[in-house]
Amino acid sequence: MKYDVSLELENREESYSFGDVAKQANGACWLKSGKSVVLATVVIDETEIVKDDFLPLTVQYIEKTYAAGKIPGGFFKRETKPSDFETLTSRIVDRSLRPLFPKGFGHPTQVTIMVFSADAESDLQVLALNAASAALFTSDIDINRSVSAVRAAKVDGEIVLNPTLPQLKNSTLDLYLSGTKDDLLMIEMRTFGSEDIEVNDMIIDPMLDPTMAGAVLATHTANAMSEDELIEVFEKTEKELFSTNAKYEKAFAPLQKEIAALDLKAHIANEEMISYVRDNHMSDIADAMNQMAKSERSTALRQLRKKILLTKEEWATIDAEVELKDAIDRVKKEQVRSQILNENVRADGRALTEVRPITIDTNVLPNAHSSCLFTRGQTQALVVLTMGGAKDAQMFESLTDSATQNENFMVHYNFPGFSVGEASPVMGTKRRELGHGNLAKRALEPTVNLDGQTVRLVSEILESNGSSSMATVCGGYMALRAADIETSDTIAGIAMGMVSEGDKYAILSDIMGLEDHDGDMDFKVTGSKTGITAMQMDIKLGGISLDILKEALYQAKEGRSHIIDIMLEAESKIEFNDGVLPSVDFFHIDPSFIGEIIGQAGKTIREMIEKFEVAIDIDKKDGKVKITGKNKGGVQAAREHIHGIVNAPKKEKIKYEVGGVYDGIVKRIVDFGAFVELPDGTDGLLHISKISDKRVDKVSDVFSEGDKVKVEILEFKGNKISLGRA
């Protein structure tokens, strides 16, 4: 039987339909909002239980190009691998749904979200989560909480909830909150740099870079948001989030299927083993904690398990060994949390607000455009920057955009197994790697002014023990500065954590892997000393109050400020990779001089391009000049040459007539004659046949560049002057 539900929400309406499509799935929901249609399905394997201690949930968000009336671009005319947007959306939905499942749920579960129709205004990431949650809530799985998303934007200084895509494009803030009617579960946030757009009407050197024609030049101003301002937005958005979920649960409760009888993984702790470990092996637990403070991967707990099994032979069975592993993990987790809450001391001896030692080495790779080796504790990122032109931008197609888009600031994050001591092959990019790279890009992009350039940052994680994504942000900023790329502010990132028991809690700065694993929160915050550019938060304990969140934000600000001071000191010692690093210079001239800089038929500008080995772009409207070259010397010389033209005394234009005789200077010799500069700077051609009454085989036998010669005006051909020897 078909059931329809319509809900009026802030800034949009949603219509849900159940029971008429995908009826063999455990749960299915057809969601329509505007002209967008999304189908979400949930299917579980009722016969298999995965024994490992994790939830076997897979989320796939899939866009079909027919949804926007388009055929896939490229050679293959069917959808192939997921786009970055699809992968990131799948990850957002996955992180929001996981807290809903009961402890011990081990049945493989597949959530599939397909976009069948898409308009240019709907927020598909919000609709994807809402549809998936509705399908899950009304399925036969024992889940009785709704989770949904609310996005907030800041348009013309006003907060807009559930903005349309056009509103979001004009926003200085993008905040995505997900949670239930009682708890905030996840945050994704970024700011946008404001831009003063200037259209580049002319590219002077199309031979060097033909794709630059019509490029857009922009000047960025950072739009970092203060902690207090952000909390105000959280309060407003959270209120809408809680209200929306209450509406969903009330509307969907009558449509829930009969709950299926599913077995859960047994999580019964073996109290005898737990007591034995506490009584006999606390020193071994302390040693293991010390080792895990130095590496995300440690064999210490496995060695302890083997040690115990040698003395307790009756536990040498597969089931008992699994219980012993759980017992050791539980005691270790208790000790980690107790030491933090009761002694304010962490496993590596740090205070709660203390950041691990940081070292920064810039331009360690002599043949890269720039690089930075950023080390914080046992986390190390090598971030390498490469500069290019507009033609090097990443082309991509989004579902609702009418044309292909170009991404000219890229951050690619790689996490090889050796960084945590694992013997695993380097494979394709995983969701986690894509997500961390996207977070670092969001953190840095609002402060970077590329002006038509393309920049690619690649972060190679060489060692990891907590927050390699924040090391990527710090190393990425230093790589930008090591390439002499201007930024509007200094940006750093820090990962925050929390441990809580009842009303007691402790907030941790710069968490390591052990604290991430055994703690209750993973909260990454990036920004300057004055504001936040991006953040990402996952709550493991079922929710967080805004008071605690505010405290964490201010503690993160202190940690960021400490890291930025270290970065600024390293920045003052940067030595550029001269001879390797391309150089770019921007300046303005009086637009009335552009004709003289270009020269007759482009002669002057071409001579500069050849002489100084540069590319020169000029905006005819306001005289903005961009010079790009392989080295600073050539770029500087070209700039000085242009200033020389602009500042030279203006020659009074002469009205030439046929038969007039003038003194000229040979400026350039070619096979068919010589170009002669007349008194006011105008050029004319003295053809080889007009040089002498006698036959001339080589012009260079008669003239050298710079020679003075008396010439006669023979004729005008358009804007060209034909000369003869006088």
Strand partners of residue 72:
none
Query: What secondary structure does DSSP assign to 80-116, as a single string?
Result: -SPPHHHHHHHHHHHHHHGGGSPTT--S-EEEEEEEE
The answer on 710 and 588 residing in a single domain is: no
DSSP bridge partners of 708: 665
Closest to 687 measured CA to CA, from 702, 700, 701, 671:
671
User: Residue 463 maps to which CATH number?
Assistant: 3.30.230.70
Examine residue 240 and state whether it is found in any structural domain, yes or no. Answer: yes
- What pLDDT, on a 0 to 100 scale, did the predictor assign at position 652? 66
**Could you please report the per-residue DSSP string of 338-370?**
HHHHHH---TTS--TTPPPPEEEEE--STTSSE
Quick one: 124 and 231 in the same domain?
yes
Q: Are residues 366 and 502 in the same domain?
A: yes
Strands 673-677 and 683-687: antiparallel
Q: Is 263 within a domain?
A: no
Domain CATH for 633: 3.30.1370.10
Q: Please give the span between the terminal C-alpha atoms of the chain, in angstroms, as a whole number.
A: 101
Helices (H) and strands (E) in the chain, counts: 15, 32
Look at residues 571, 594, 621 and tell me which one is the last residue of a structural domain.
571
Answer yes or no: is 426 within a domain.
yes
Residues 160, 53 within the same domain? yes
Q: What's the structural domain count of the chain? A: 5
| Cα→Cα distances 102→136, 258, 265, 554, Å | 13, 17, 10, 33
Give average pLDDT by consecutive 10-residue segment, the chain, 726 residues.
86 93 95 96 89 85 94 84 94 93 89 96 96 96 94 94 93 94 92 52 34 35 82 94 95 92 74 88 85 73 85 78 85 90 90 96 96 96 92 84 86 93 86 94 91 90 93 98 92 95 92 89 94 90 80 96 97 90 82 81 84 85 82 85 80 78 88 86 85 85 88 84 86
The whole-number pLDDT of residue 326 equals 84
Residue 633 and residue 493 in one domain: no
> 706: domain range?
661-725
Burial per residue of 261-294, b for 16 or more beta-carbon CB atoms within 10 angstroms, e otherwise:
ebeeeeeeebeebbebbeeebeebbeebbebbbe
Question: Which of 571, 600, 630 delimits the end of a domain?
Answer: 571
pLDDT value of position 77 = 87
107 Cβ contact list (under 8 Å, min separation 6): 44, 45, 46, 48, 49, 50, 56, 262
Nearest Cα to 305, choosing from 286, 320, 295, 294?
Answer: 320
What local confidence, expressed as pLDDT, does residue 539 receive?
Answer: 81
Interacting residues of 564 by C-beta distance below 8 A, sequence separation 6+: 490, 492, 528, 529
Whether 472 and 562 map to the same domain: the answer is: yes
Task: Answer whether residue 210 is part of any domain.
Answer: no
Residues 296 and 383 in one domain: no
For residues 651 and 688, is the Cβ–Cβ distance under 8 A?
A: no
Asked whether residue 246 falls in the same domain as residue 111, the answer is: yes
Distances (CA, A) of 724 to 108, 295, 601, 603, 686: 90, 83, 21, 21, 6
CB atoms within 10 A of CB 420: 19
Buried-exposed string 575-585: b where 16+ CB fall within 10 A, e elsewhere: ebbeeebbbbe
In a shared domain, residues 500 and 388: yes
Under 8 Å between Cβ of 421 and 297: yes
209 lies in some domain: no
**What per-residue confidence (pLDDT) applies to 159?**
95
CATH number for the domain that contains residue 721: 2.40.50.140
Give the CA angle between residues 277, 279, 282 to the nearest 5°: 65
| Domain match, 110 and 10 both | yes
In a domain, 563, yes or no: yes
